Every structure is written in C-alpha cells, then in structure tokens.
C-alpha cells in the first residue's frame, strides 16, 4: 500500500522550496469539524506548517521572509479534491485529451489529483502500460495521476488482466469502465483474485442486453424524442449483482457513476450490512435530469449512464448527503467535435467535467440548499481518498499541502474558450455559474494562481 503511494508521488516534485501564507480564508475541513476563518502556512517542504484560527479579524501568523502571501479573504480553503473518474485518453486518443491537457484542465477545475480510466489504446491492462501512464505523468502532468488498470485483458471480458503486475507498477484500482463486465462468473473470479491483494474493483454497472442499445433514459423523454430508451435496471441489476458478489467474495467494490434510485438503495443496504462497497456520483447526474434533453437533440447531454428522472436525481442527492455516495467523480469524458456533432444515436457517450464540477456543484447543489458546503467538501476530498485507501489530507500541521482555494463569488460563464481541456463537449456549455477554484496547491506547489493555471 505505502509502496504504491510512494511510486505515485515520486512523479511529483516534493515541495516547492517556497513558503506560502494564505491569510484570512474560510477554512473548511469536515474531517476536523472545522469551519472558521484562519491562516495557513505552507512550508518549503510541501507540508502544512501552521494553521491558526483567526478569532476576531486580526491575522496571527506573520509572513516569514520571502513568503508568498495570498489574501484569502472571502475565499474558502479546503483539502484538495481528487477525481476518481477521468478519461485522460493517452495513449491512443490524444486528439481528445492528453495527460498534459487533462491534468491541466484538472488544475483549472480545482483538483489536486485524478484517477485515470484504463480504456486507452492500448488498454492499460499490464504493468508496462501502467508504468507508461505514470512516466508520461511525471513528464507532463500538472497534478498527480493515479492510474487504474483493466479488470480483463483489453477490457474484453474474456481473460483476467495481470492485476499483481499492475499493482506493482502503481495501479490504484481495476475497472473495465466503458463497459460493464457482462459475465457474472468473470466478475466473481476478478473479485476473488483481487482479494489476494486487497485490490479495489471499480464497476461500470451496465447490463448491455437489458440496456438494448438505449441512448437516453427509458421514459417520457425517450418517447417524446423518439430515441431508444434504456431502463435504469440495466444499471441497478448489475449493481445488485456486484454487491452480492462482493458480499460473497469479501472483495472491495466501488460502484462508478451511480445514476438510479434503485442503485442508491442497494448500496445503502449493502453498506448497512457490512459489504465493502463504496460509490461515486457525477456532477451531471446530481444536478441534471432527463428533462434537460429537448428537441435540439444536444449530444453533449448524451452520456452513459444516461441522465435519469428527477426521482433518481433526488435519490442521488439524498445518498450523497447520507454518505451512501462516498465521492463525487466527474467521469470526465472528452470527445472531439466530429464525434459529437452527429445523429444523437451515433454520437459518443460522455461529457467533460473536470472544470465545471466545482462551479456546478456550488451553484446547483450548495446555493440551492440541497447539500451543505462541508458535506460537499467531504465528498470531493476525503471521500475519494477513503475509496482509494490514500492517506488523508487534513487542514492541520504536518499534513501534505494538497489544497484548493475557492472563490464562492467568482462568476463563471462556461464557454469553449473558458474550458482549457482539449475537448469542449461539456453538458454545461452556456451556463452562468457562481463559485470556482482560484488556486490549487499540490504538495505546496501552486499549480493554479488566481484562476490561471501556472504553466
């Protein structure tokens, strides 16, 4: 475990050699039950050296000589978020995104780390391909990359991939994301084998036969638009299957991009029964429902799983609040224009999400009173680290300074120009949002400053 973490962080510069003082920000860390104005001093070794709560306005940490002093007044400082679900597309589909452009978008969105989905070309299904991702990250990435490996060779569902080899190379979990593992016996064997190493299996739950080629949620909108619908059971039945396999095998299971109320209920019950299951939801499933689809057949709203009903969305939010959903992950899925400007049924599934997540969540979940800020921070920062088994990042001395500063009043209009990622297929294009990350620190190194990524 520790070996793994070291290999990942080796890729990054340790410490900036720079001392940074963030003054007067609202410090929010639900792990410490902390929500107060304070100062944070980041030492040259990349660790938090001092945290002082300001009782009544006056700053208590004085800036050391040569320190970079950042005025955090009116801003929120949180342990940096980690995105459990990002398609970086490198190697093989660099026209959509690269490790460089994807991690740059991540920094722009306020993330201090991203997990890379292995459905690249070739699929990351052996140690060498995992090492390649980490090597490329060491050369080009703005924030740390935590690679996943495939569960099966080529994600084809026929033969187990070399999980031990990939763990040695630095993989943090295993998924055939892009597809569900269709064969239940294969999933059982994968979990049994993963258990040898206590490795994490991440399930993209989708029964392809039951999904039957559906491209939107089954229901009113599918009927109205004349598009093939996909029942939510295509997901939920496989979630239930995988939960039962996790119960049987004792393996660690994580459910990706949960979208239905039945899945939420199954995960909640499984957790209560002690099954080792965690789950994530995407910003788009948390704030949008199928009614966003209209007669313009906007393919930016085509994703897998599809946007579901309002009842499903509400169940997801309730699951997020009560902890059934451990983490918010974007399922950042960049696609080139020519893959999206197509007939709805032919367009690729997926929306980008790294850069819009925090603004969208603050605007549509926090400002609307559906989720409070500490809960949101928990699901963005602590939750993902818990899922992966990474060390916690706390706003306290001695912890690594992976931190994100958010301006809750910043206004963002989502345009193609504002998005720095390579692909512009955002479900939120055109939205006016309030609240955005302005500064990101990775081990004390400032990778974004005042809303601009530090190149």
Partner 1 sequence: MPSIKSKHLIRIQDLTNDEIYAVLENAATFKEINERPIKKLPTLRGRTIINLFLEPSTRTRSSFELAEKRLSADSLNFSASSSATVKGESLLDTAETFDAMKVDMVVARHKYGGYCNILADHMDAKIVNGGDGIHQHPTQTLLDLFTIYEHFGRIEGLTVGIVGDIYHSRVAGSLAPALASLGATPIFIAPPAYQPDVPEELGAQVAYTLDEVLPELDVVNLLRIQGERAQGLYVPSLREYSALYGMNSHRMNNLMKKDAIILHPGPMNRGVEVTAEVIADPRMLVLDQVNAGVAVRMAVMYMMLGGDGDVE
- Is 208 an interacting residue with respect to partner 1 (CB under 8 A)? no
Nearer to partner 1, 95 or 297 (CB): 297
Residue 60 binds partner 1, judged by CB under 8 A: no
Task: Kindly tell me which residue out of 110, 170, 229, 350 binds partner 1, with binding defined by CB under 8 A.
Answer: 229
Closest approach of partner 1 to the CB of residue 336, in Å: 11
Q: Which of residues 286-315 bind partner 1 (CB under 8 A)?
A: 295-297
Choose between 64 and 219: whose C-beta lies nearer to partner 1. 219
User: Can you say whether the dihedral through the CA atoms of 171, 173, 174, 177 is positive or negative?
Assistant: negative
Count of residues near partner 1 by CB under 8 A: 21
Which lies closer to partner 1 via its Cβ, residue 62 or residue 338?
Answer: 338
Distances (CA, A) of 342 to 93, 335, 346, 349: 19, 12, 6, 12
Cα–Cα distance between 331 and 359 in angstroms, integer?
16
Q: Site map for partner 1, 337-356, x if CB under 8 A?
A: -x--xxxxxx----------
Cis amide bond preceding 150, omega within 30: no
Q: In terms of residues, how long is the chain? A: 455
Shortest distance, position 231 Cβ to partner 1, whole Å: 9
C-alpha angle 29-34-38 in degrees, rounded to nearest 5: 95
Is residue 125 within 8 A of residue 154, CB to CB? The reply is yes
Pick between residue 175 and residue 309 the one whose CB is nearest to partner 1: 309
Whole-angstrom Cα distance, residue 41 to residue 66? 13
CB of 344 to partner 1, least distance (A): 5
For partner 1, the closer CB: 343 or 455: 343
Out of 92, 220, 411, 413, which residue is the one contacting partner 1 (CB under 8 A)? 220
* Binding residue (CB under 8 A) for partner 1 from 62, 159, 183, 223: 223
- Please report how close the Cβ of residue 220 comes to partner 1 at its closest, in angstroms: 5
* Active-site residue, 331 included: yes
Whole-angstrom Cα distance, residue 47 to residue 60?
Answer: 19
DSSP line for 329-393: ---B----HHHHSS-TTTSPP--B-TTTHHHHHIIIIITTTSS-HHHHHIIIIIHHHHHHTPPP-
Q: How far is the CB of 282 from partner 1 (least distance, A)?
A: 23
**Measuring CA to CA, which residue among 437, 415, 436 is closest to residue 426?**
415
Interface positions with partner 1 (CB under 8 A): 218-220, 222-229, 295-297, 338, 341-346
By annotation, the residues acting in catalysis are 331
């Amino acid at each position: 475990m520790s070996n793994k973490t070291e290999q990942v962080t080796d890729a990054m510069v340790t410490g900036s050699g720079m001392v940074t003082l963030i003054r007067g920000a609202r410090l929010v860390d639900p792990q410490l039950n902390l929500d107060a104005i304070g100062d944070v001093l980041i030492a040259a070794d990349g660790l938090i050296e001092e945290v002082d709560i300001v009782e009544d306005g006056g700053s208590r940490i004085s800036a050391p000589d040569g320190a970079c002093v950042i005025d955090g007044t009116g801003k929120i400082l949180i342990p940096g978020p980690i995105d459990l679900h990002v398609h970086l597309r490198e190697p093989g589909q660099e026209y959509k995104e690269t490790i460089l452009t994807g991690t740059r978008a991540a920094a722009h969105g306020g993330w201090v780390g991203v997990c890379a989905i292995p459905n690249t070309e070739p699929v990351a299904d052996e140690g060498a391909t995992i090492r390649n991702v980490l090597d490329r990250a060491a050369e080009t990435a703005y924030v740390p990359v935590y690679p996943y490996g495939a569960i099966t060779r080529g994600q084809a569902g026929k033969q187990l991939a070399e999980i031990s080899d990939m763990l040695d190379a630095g993989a943090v979990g295993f998924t055939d994301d892009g597809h569900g593992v269709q064969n239940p016996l294969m999933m059982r064997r994968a979990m049994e084998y993963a258990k040898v190493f206590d490795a994490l299996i991440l399930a993209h739950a989708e029964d392809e036969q039951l999904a039957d080629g559906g491209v939107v949620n089954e229901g009113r909108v599918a009927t109205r638009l004349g598009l093939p619908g996909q029942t939510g059971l295509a997901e939920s039945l496989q979630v239930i299957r995988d939960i039962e396999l996790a119960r049987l095998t004792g393996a660690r299971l994580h459910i990706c991009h949960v979208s239905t109320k039945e899945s939420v209920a199954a995960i909640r019950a499984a957790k209560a029964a002690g099954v080792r299951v965690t789950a994530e939801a995407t910003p788009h499933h948390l704030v949008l429902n199928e009614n966003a689809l209209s007669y313009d057949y906007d393919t930016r709203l085509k994703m897998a799983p599809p946007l579901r009903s309002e009842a499903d969305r509400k169940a997801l939010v309730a699951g997020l609040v009560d902890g059934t959903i451990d983490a918010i992950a974007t399922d950042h899925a960049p696609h080139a224009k020519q893959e999206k400007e197509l007939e709805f049924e032919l367009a690729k599934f997926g929306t980008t999400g790294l850069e819009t997540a925090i603004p969208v969540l603050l605007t549509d979940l926090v400002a609307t009173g559906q989720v409070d800020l500490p809960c949101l921070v928990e699901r963005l920062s602590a939750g993902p680290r818990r899922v992966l088994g990474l060390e916690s990042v706390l706003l306290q001395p001695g912890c690594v300074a992976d931190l994100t500063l958010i301006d809750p009043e910043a206004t963002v209009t989502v345009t193609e120009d504002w998005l720095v990622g390579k692909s512009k297929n955002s479900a939120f294009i055109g939205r006016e949002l309030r609240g955005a990350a302005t500064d990101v620190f990775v081990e004390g190194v400032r990778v974004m400053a005042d809303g601009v990524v530090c190149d």
